[in-house]
Amino acid sequence: MRGRIGSLETGPPLRLRVYDALEDLIVERTLLPGEHLSELELAAEFGTSRNPVREALQLLQRDGWVDLRPRQGAFVHEPTVREVDEVFAVRRALEVEAAQRAAVNRSTEDLDALREALEEGREALGNGDPSAVVASNTTFHRVLTRVAQNSVLAGMVGRLDKRIRWYFGPVVEVRGRPSWAEHGQIVDAIERRSSDEAGELMWAHVEATREAFHASLI
């Protein structure tokens, strides 16, 4: 076996670290849809050569975060209406199931965790911090999914997490307070163990955010 297996790297390959950094900047909208991404400038910012940046951009294109255009370079992807609808359709199905299961499975401790997540979002709204509101929205839905007690469901919702954060950012000013009122209604239904009501409220909640994002594209 000696000589047939190379030594392991001490950390993630540089291209993956560049990938993670760029993905976060895109999700947080520090880098905006349609923005040009210069390999040379990014390499200078990250203190790397251009190769790991080029490799990271290729991976980001594969995952739908970046568009590579011949003779033009790399650009942050601009989501289409169809993409948004497809993502929200999947999210709606998963989140409705999560809300219904949470109403059946919730414990007193689970309700406390949901109420705590609600309060975190209210504080962020009161402080006028859009980034914190987006983060709190992620926390709320993550807690609700955990309460549903379905690990496969949680994993599928988790894989959509960054895409949903990316979509919620542009509409947080419009959807922040209404969204938190809807969160509260969903938790109340879960507390009453009203599975059908929790599912219906979640359906309407996800649909309202989808419609708000559509409006932001006009």
The answer to whether residue 34 scores a pLDDT higher than 80 is yes
**CATH number for domain 14-76, candidates 2.60.40.420, 1.20.1090.10, 1.10.10.10, 1.10.3720.10:** 1.10.10.10
The answer to whether residue 105 scores a pLDDT higher than 70 is yes
Both tokens assigned to 152: 């496969």
Q: What is the pLDDT of residues 163-189, one digit of tens each?
A: 999 999 899 999 999 999 999 999 999
The answer to whether 26 touches 166, Cβ cutoff 8 Å, is yes
Helix, strand, coil % over all residues of the chain, rounded to 5: 75, 5, 20
**Distance between CA atoms of residues 150 and 148, nearest Å:** 6
Compute the average pLDDT of residues 88-94.
Answer: 96
Q: Which amino acid is at 59?
A: L
Both tokens assigned to 194: 């009203």
**Distance between CA atoms of residues 168 and 178, nearest Å:** 13
Find, among 147, 178, 140, 152, the residue nearest to 94 by Cα. 152
**CATH number for domain 81-217, candidates 3.90.580.10, 1.20.120.530, 3.90.1170.50, 3.10.20.600:** 1.20.120.530
Compute the average pLDDT of residues 26-34.
Answer: 94
Q: What pTM value is reported for the model?
A: 0.87
Q: Where are the domains of the chain?
A: 14-76, 81-217
Say what the pLDDT of residue 215 is.
Answer: 87
Compute the average pLDDT of residues 104-129.
Answer: 96
Q: In CATH terms, are 14-76 and 81-217 the same topology? A: no
Provide the pairing of β-strand 73-76 with 36-37: antiparallel
Say what the pLDDT of residue 68 is.
Answer: 97
Position 217 confidence tier, pLDDT thresholds 50, 70, 90? confident
Both tokens assigned to 176: 């922040």
Report DSSP letters for 110-172, one per residue. HHHHHHHHHHHHHHHHHTT-HHHHHHHHHHHHHHHHHHHT-HHHHHHHHHHHHHHHHHHGGGH
Compute the average pLDDT of residues 4-17.
Answer: 68
The answer to whether residue 9 scores a pLDDT higher than 60 is no
The answer to whether residue 147 scores a pLDDT higher than 60 is yes
Percent of the chain past pLDDT 90, that is, above it, reads 89
Say what the pLDDT of residue 10 is.
Answer: 59
Say what the pLDDT of residue 218 is.
Answer: 65
Q: For residue 118, count other CB atoms closer than 10 A to its CB.
A: 19
